[in-house]
């Protein structure tokens, strides 16, 4: 079941969500609609990939710990196998000049992709001067001052708490 | 020893990256490229590309990094380290969900983390751009990829495959 899901995830995270919805909520009726929504929310606020976490949530609801483990394995396995194949091909063939050219093109595209992620996330998250200041601080501290990234996330969380979390 | 280090780093990184995917990149880059020197900037970009074209979340790129550094054992270790935090935290949170949802503290903490991560990711993009944009062709591919990803709904996999073809023909 969850294996089928992993292969389906080729289409990206959103196709996966609609797949959960159709398979588990509409067809099998294992999970109620509001529980599904709850699962999506939990997936987004827990560490790790949201869709995996939503799957773990559903697995846990259905079969407790066994379900959670099955959900993780099923979701991770298809990608894992494919990555192994690609990693093997990569290490064997990366020194062929042609492959090097392909990888250079791909690398440049990934940089563009990252900038587009910054752009999209930025538009969604940075509203007003306070989030903008957090973003600039994150950039400067990481890029120029080489502050430890985990420490930075902890610091940002703490500042968020002090700035937004106090009772008014 | 290296396996243990790999596991520990990925466990820690995944524990700290809520939202998954791109959020973990600044942390992975710091450990694997800057601190341990296990990967070059170009290899890091290759890992992101492979994570992107395979099914499932970007996190699977960690299996590639593991393989690259320590073979099959590395790949397995990396995958376990990446998913274990999810299993532990999600099963815990599922039990106490309602309390967690209403917590203003959690909301405030995230309002601080989210924009900071945007800035950190920008920092990594600048570093990697410096390594990757070595000639005009590379810059063109990067700009085209940005434009397509930012303003259209084309799947990243297609962009990456297209860029690979462009690289083969033009570089």
| Residues B22-52: tens digit of each pLDDT | 889 999 999 999 999 999 999 999 999 998 8
Provide the token pair at B39. Answer: 């990967």
Note the pLDDT of residue A33.
79
Q: Where are the alpha helices (DSSP H) in A21-148?
A: 33-45, 50-93, 97-125, 129-143
Mutant choice from B29, B104, B118, B143 vs A, greatest count of A C-beta within 10 A: B118
What's the pTM value of the predicted model, to 2 decimals?
Answer: 0.83
- A45, A69, A114: best mutation site toward chain B, by most B Cβ within 10 Å? A114
- Give the ranges where chain B is alpha helix by DSSP (H): 2-16, 25-28, 41-53, 61-95, 97-102, 104-132, 136-151, 156-170
Q: Tell me what pLDDT residue B128 has.
A: 93
Please tell me if residue B88 touches chain A, with a CB cutoff of 8 Å: no
Which pLDDT value is given to residue A7?
45
pLDDT score for A50: 81
A115-156 per-position pLDDT tens digit: 998 998 899 889 899 999 999 999 999 999 988 888 898 899
> Which among A90, A121, A122 has CB closest to B46?
A90
Q: How far apart are CA B76 and CA A118, in angstroms?
A: 30
How far is B2 from chain A, CA to nearest CA, in Å? 19
For B51, residues 6+ apart whose C-beta sits below 8 A from its C-beta are: A83, B58, B59, B60, B61, B62, B64
What would the pLDDT profile of A35-60 be if each residue is shown by its tens digit?
Answer: 778 787 787 778 888 878 888 888 88
Q: Which residues in chain B are closer than 8 Å to A9, comparing Cβ atoms?
A: 55-57
pLDDT recorded at residue A38: 79
| CB-CB neighbors (< 8 A) of B125 in chain A | 111, 114-115, 118
Contact B45 A122 (CB under 8 A): no
All residue ranges of chain B with pLDDT < 70 are 19-20, 97-102
Task: Give the ipTM of the model, two decimals please.
Answer: 0.86
Least confident stretch, A4-13, A27-36, B81-90: A4-13
Q: CA separation (Å) from B22 to B47, B124, B171?
A: 12, 10, 28
* A56 → closest Cβ in B53, B86, B168: B86
The confidence score (pLDDT) of residue B55 equals: 72
pLDDT given for residue A14 in this prediction: 46
| Alpha carbons B161 and A11: distance in angstroms, whole number | 15
Q: Are B6 and B79 in contact (CB under 8 A)?
A: no
Q: Which residues of A touch B139 (CB under 8 A)?
A: 108
Look up tokens 């790129």; give the residue: B61
Q: With a CB-CB cutoff of 8 Å, which residues 97-136 of chain B face chain A?
A: 97, 100-101, 104-129, 132-134
Tokens linked to A79: 């990608």
Q: Look at A61 and A142; give whichever has higher pLDDT.
A: A142
- A8: confidence class by pLDDT, cuts 50, 70, 90: very low
Predicted local confidence at residue B100, as pLDDT: 61
Put simply, the answer to whether B167 touches A108 (Cβ < 8 Å) is yes
Q: Which helix (H) or strand (E) holds B125?
A: helix B104-132
CA distance A43 to A48: 8
Distance of residue A26 Cα from the nearest chain B Cα, in angstroms: 22
Report DSSP state, residue A26.
I
Residues of B in contact with A40 (CB under 8 A): none
A103–B89 CB contact, under 8 Å: no
Any A CB within 8 A of B93 CB:
yes
CB of B83 within 8 Å of a chain A CB? The answer is: yes
What is the per-residue burial (b if ≥16 Cβ within 10 Å, else e) of A96-127?
A: eeebbbbbbbbbbbbbbbbbbbbbebbeebbe
% of chain A surpassing 70 pLDDT:
87
pLDDT value at A6 more than 60? no
Size of interface A-B (CB pairs under 8 A): 366
């Amino acid at each position: 079941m969850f294996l089928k899901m992993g292969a389906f995830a080729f289409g990206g995270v959103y196709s996966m969500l609609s797949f959960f919805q159709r398979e588990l909520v509409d067809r099998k009726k294992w999970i109620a609609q509001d529980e599904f929504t709850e699962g999506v929310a939990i997936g987004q606020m827990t560490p790790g990939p949201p869709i995996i976490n939503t799957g773990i949530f559903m697995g846990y609801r259905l079969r407790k710990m066994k379900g959670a483990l099955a959900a993780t394995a099923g979701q991770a396995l298809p990608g894992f196998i494919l990555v192994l194949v690609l990693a093997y091909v990569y290490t064997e063939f990366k020194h062929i000049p042609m492959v090097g050219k392909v990888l250079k093109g791909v690398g440049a595209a990934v940089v563009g992709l990252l900038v587009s992620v910054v752009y999209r996330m930025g538009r969604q998250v940075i509203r007003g001067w306070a989030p903008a200041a957090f973003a600039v601080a994150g950039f400067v501290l990481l890029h120029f001052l080489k502050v430890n990234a985990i420490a930075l996330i902890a610091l940002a969380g703490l500042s968020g708490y002090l700035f937004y979390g106090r009772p008014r | 020893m290296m396996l243990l280090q790999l596991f520990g780093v990925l466990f820690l990184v995944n524990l700290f990256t809520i939202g998954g995917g791109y959020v973990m990149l600044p942390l992975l880059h710091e450990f694997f490229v800057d601190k341990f020197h296990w990967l070059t900037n170009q290899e890091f970009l290759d890992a992101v590309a492979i994570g992107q074209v395979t099914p499932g979340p970007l996190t699977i790129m960690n299996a590639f990094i593991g393989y690259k550094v320590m073979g099959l054992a590395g790949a397995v270790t990396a995958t376990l380290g990446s998913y274990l935090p999810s299993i532990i935290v999600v099963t815990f949170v599922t039990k106490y969900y309602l309390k967690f949802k209403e917590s203003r503290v959690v909301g405030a903490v995230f309002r601080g983390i989210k924009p900071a991560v945007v800035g950190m990711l920008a920092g990594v993009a600048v570093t990697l751009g410096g390594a990757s944009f070595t000639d005009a062709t590379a810059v063109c591919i990067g700009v085209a990829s940005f434009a397509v990803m930012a303003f259209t709904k084309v799947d990243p996999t297609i962009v990456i495959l297209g860029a690979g073809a462009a690289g083969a023909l033009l570089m």
